[in-house]
Amino acid sequence: MLVFLIILLIIIAIIAFKSIKVVNQSEVYIIERLGKYYKTAEAGLTFILPFIDRVSSVVLLKELTMDIPPQGVITKDNVTINIDTVVFYQITDPEKSVYEIANLKKGIEYLAITTIRDIVGKMDLDETFGSRDNINYQLRSILDEATDKWGCKINRVEIKDINPPADIRDAMEKQMNAERNKRALILEAEARKQSDITVAEGKKQAAILEAEAESEAQIRRAAGEAQAIKEVADAKAKEIEMIYSAMKKADPDETLVQLKSLEALEEVAKGDANKVFIPFEATSALGSLGAIKDVMTDDKAKKKKDKE
């Protein structure tokens, strides 16, 4: 009897172990009953019928990564390059991921390889290096659409590396070095050109400023000389006017006035000015001087005639 009870307890323990399942977070169990899909057990405690139900698959709901092995791809210009790719995917429908395809990872890998070859085969080598974002976008779009029926979503596709053949790499490095040297020479020539232009502009500006300064100096010197001449002439004219006024107040005879006026004009003529300003009154004195000369000449001629 005791043995029977022990065997019964063992059987009950086995049945309980088979019946009770604990599903971890971010996982689901695909449960089949008699070989047919029965339900999807989510995280937590779940019960199944032993020997009738079974856990067919454990599906992870986390985002997963798949490293696609480097693939040799021929570009549009017949250059073979190796492309290394990584795919980020997540299962959204566990039932489809189990029953719609035999091996989801292999399906994604093969689909990614064929898609890469198709996309890169339409590009030149240079375009391939400069179009990583475009290739990633096209890969993700095509893979996401193709894997939707497998209950899978492609979140991202990244090209890790693009490796051309060694001879192509050497040629590209030489080309890049030549381009860098060319840009350096162009920049150096532009710098020299700009420097020469700046120096020439500086010399031109200096010459213009020097000419303007010399012109200004000449104008100022001429203005100063003209002012000095005018001041001397004004002073002499005032002196003559004062002398004439004094003589006029003294009421001298006409001959004395004319002689004093001539003496004053003689002093004026001795100055440095190249122009002499003669008062109006002095011009009449000069006219009288001519008349006096004629009278004296006539007197001398008359006396000589009387002696004869």
Q: How confident is the model at residue 305 (pLDDT cuts 50, 70, 90)?
A: low
Per the structure, the complete domain to which residue 152 belongs is given by 63-164
Q: Which residue has the higher pLDDT, 161 or 156?
A: 156
Chain segment 13-27, per-residue pLDDT in tens: 787 777 888 888 889
- DSSP-based three-state secondary structure for 49: coil
Q: Is the same domain home to 54 and 67?
A: no
Q: Token pair 């086995």 is at which residue?
A: 14
Distances, alpha carbon 12 to alpha carbons 1, 15, 16, 64, 156, in Å: 16, 5, 6, 39, 49
> What average pLDDT does the chain have?
78
Q: How confident is the model at residue 301 (pLDDT cuts 50, 70, 90)?
A: low
Q: Over pLDDT 90: what percentage of the chain?
A: 15
Considering 59, 84, 106, which residue would you say is the last residue of a domain? 59
Distance, first Cα to last Cα, the chain? 210
Give the pLDDT score at 246: 65
Nearest to 139 by CA among 83, 204, 203, 190: 83
Give the pLDDT score at 307: 58
Q: How confident is the model at residue 88 (pLDDT cuts 50, 70, 90)?
A: very high
Distances, alpha carbon 99 to alpha carbons 32, 35, 53, 96, 262, in Å: 12, 12, 17, 5, 141
Q: Is the same domain home to 71 and 34?
A: no
Considering 117, 135, 164, which residue would you say is the last residue of a domain? 164
- Mean pLDDT for 102-121 is 90
Considering 41, 59, 77, which residue would you say is the last residue of a domain? 59
Q: Is the same domain home to 50 and 67?
A: no
| pLDDT over 90 at 91, yes or no | yes
Residues comprising the chain, all counted:
308
- Tell me whether residue 79 is in a domain: yes
- Tell me whether residue 37 is in a domain: yes
- Tell me whether residue 117 is in a domain: yes
Contact (Cβ atoms closer than 8 angstroms) between residue 117 and residue 80 = no
Q: Which residue has the higher pLDDT, 247 or 6?
A: 6
* Domain count within the chain: 3
Q: 17-26, 153-162, 172-181: lowest mean pLDDT where?
A: 172-181
- Spatial distance between the Cα atoms of 304 and 170, rounded to a whole number of angstroms: 130
Q: Is the same domain home to 151 and 241?
A: no
- Tell me whether residue 191 is in a domain: no
- Tell me whether residue 205 is in a domain: no
Chain segment 54-73, per-residue pLDDT in tens: 888 899 999 999 988 888 88
Q: Is the same domain home to 51 and 89?
A: no
Q: How confident is the model at residue 298 (pLDDT cuts 50, 70, 90)?
A: low
